[in-house]
Amino acid sequence: METRLQRAAHLLDVPHLVVFTGAGMSKDSGLDTFRDADGVWSRNAPEDYASPEGFRRNPRAVWRWYLERREQILAAEPNAGHKAVAALEQLLPRVTVITQNIDGLHQRAGSRRVLELHGSVHRYKCSKNCRGVSTLTPTPELDQTEPLPCPYCGALTRPDVVWFGELLPAEVWKAAVREILACEAVLVIGTSGQVEPAASLVWYARGRGKSLVEINPAPTLINDIAEVVLPGTAAEMTPALLAALAALHAAD
Ligand code: NAD
Ligand code: ZN
């Protein structure tokens, strides 16, 4: 009889796979999720640190909070889950990662096609968005304890991440929708499915008949529409799934 892992591997053995990830993907790298009981929002109010109003009220506090998060992220390493996602590229013709994470760990693990829906802590931008979406790369000079002025217009610089109440970067969103429409299967890892519009990509995919497999140690809103749920962490389940997929290919 087919095991759950084997069934998941069969469903994901497609020409074009999308891997959709959330904060749980990086939990095994020591980075906290947001909504879990021990998550970031249990200690900090989102409206203070992740909203344009919070930044206007206290730009320094927000800037420092992100500096600290970026330091934690730079000190963290991609975990076995990120590495297994990157290794899927060796087994399947096209793999696109669509992530809600801002930590850049997928790229560090070697994934080549990554769409960052919520931006990145590794980029800064002008808080007035002068010059469209032009971004700044952090340098020791910019990494001061308070935000420096934008070199073009003098407004404050800020992390290039998406805050509550803000739109997702249009080009990235369009590319993500294109990938969802073009793929045959979606592997969802470590997201609660509560953050819109990101989560709606998973429902679009299911509505259009794409296969759906989910890895998460806890129940989520996506459980009901997933064809196979692999209950476990990203670092344990993703390598197991990769091995099942490799075994499938070896048997061919
Ligand atoms: P969330 O906090 O809402 O949900 C986290 C999910 O991860 C939960 O379903 C939880 O059961 C699951 N999880 C916990 N440990 C896990 C593990 N070891 N392996 C696999 N799954 C595990 O996070 P979300 O759904 O990503 O919410 C989206 C928002 O959180 C986004 O805006 C994102 O930008 C932001 N975020 C990013 C980071 C990061 O970049 N590392 C960290 C925290 C939050
Ligand atoms: Zn500017």
Residue of 19, 25, 31, 34 best suited for mutating to test ligand 1, as the one with most atoms within 8 Å of CB = 34
pLDDT for 233: 98
* Residue of the CA atom closest to atom 6 of ligand 1: 191
Regarding the beta carbon of 234 and ligand 1, being less than 6 Å apart is answered yes
Ligand positioned closest to the Cα atom of 33:
1
| Cβ neighbour number for residue 216 with a 10 Å cutoff | 24
Torsion of CA 89, 94, 99, 105, to 10 degrees: 20
Where in the sequence numbering do the catalytic residues fall? 118
CB atoms within 10 A of CB 232: 14
The number of the ligand nearest the C-alpha atom of 150 reads: 2
Distance CA 19, CA 191 (A): 11
Atom of ligand 1 minimally distant from the CA of 103: 40
Question: Along the chain (252 residues), what's the average pLDDT of each consecutive run of 10 residues?
Answer: 93 98 97 74 74 93 89 95 98 98 98 97 89 63 75 89 94 98 98 92 97 97 96 98 96 79
Residue 143: per-residue pLDDT: 65
Q: Is the pTM of this model over 0.85?
A: yes
Q: How many angstroms does the Cα of residue 80 sit away from the middle of ligand 2?
A: 39
